[in-house]
């Protein structure tokens, strides 16, 4: 931007000129910020160690995306929103192969449940209940139905968008990584199995 609007608009695409700042956390690398032109393939932004792995796109209020979705997507606000993975805060978190996305989501939702002002029902009661349901799912004590039910209940009912973002995260886990969810509901974990095998 220091070189003016014309120079900035030479990056990106005709429909979406300019650049985005992305905060990347991926296996084997320290978190870092990159300036990336709109229209860049996401697979070219992510390091090779992240290829094949799912990612949390948009930060803690974001959505899970599988590697096939990431590999075919481009850095684009409307483009990623159309895929169901809004760019949001521009954060891409790719856990390493030994990190279970169900357990990671449980930790995030527990954190988010403690970050409310506690001034309306969806935050005061709904988010702690949702966090407990996702914890139960992660530890094999509960199925996906309860977590999905609570995520639907808090959505659109808060005085702010905090419950909506938290519900988005949970709903994306249930829909996008359903094989991981099913493994946990059955009392297992594909990542624990992989760690034992290695």
Residues 140-185: pLDDT tens digits? Answer: 888 799 999 999 998 888 788 899 999 999 999 999 999 999 999 8
Task: Look up tokens 């954190």; give the residue.
Answer: 111
pLDDT of residue 196: 33
Strand arrangement, sheet containing 19-25: 32-37, 19-25, 91-93, 55-57, 63-65
Give the DSSP per-residue string, 89-139: TTEEE---TTS-HHHHHHHHHHHHHTTS---SHIIIIIHHHHHHHHHHHHH
The model carries a pTM of 0.88
């Amino acid at each position: 931007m220091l070189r003016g609007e014309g120079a900035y608009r030479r990056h990106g695409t005709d429909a979406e000129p300019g650049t985005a700042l992305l905060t990347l956390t991926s296996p084997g690398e320290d978190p870092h910020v990159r300036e990336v032109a709109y229209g860049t393939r996401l697979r070219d932004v992510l390091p090779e160690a992240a290829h094949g792995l799912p990612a949390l796109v948009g930060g803690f209020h974001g959505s899970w995306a599988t590697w096939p979705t990431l590999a075919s997507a481009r850095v684009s606000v409307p483009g990623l929103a159309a895929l169901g993975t809004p760019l949001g805060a521009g954060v891409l978190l790719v856990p390493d192969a030994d990190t279970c996305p169900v357990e990671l989501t449980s930790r995030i939702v527990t954190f988010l449940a403690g970050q409310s002002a506690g001034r309306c029902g969806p935050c005061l009661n709904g988010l702690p209940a949702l966090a407990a349901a996702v914890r139960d799912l992660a530890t094999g004590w509960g199925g996906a139905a309860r977590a999905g039910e609570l995520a639907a209940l808090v959505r659109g009912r808060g005085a702010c968008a905090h419950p909506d973002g938290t519900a988005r995260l949970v709903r994306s886990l249930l829909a996008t990584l359903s094989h991981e969810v099913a493994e946990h509901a059955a009392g297992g974990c594909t990542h624990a199995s992989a760690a034992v095998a290695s």
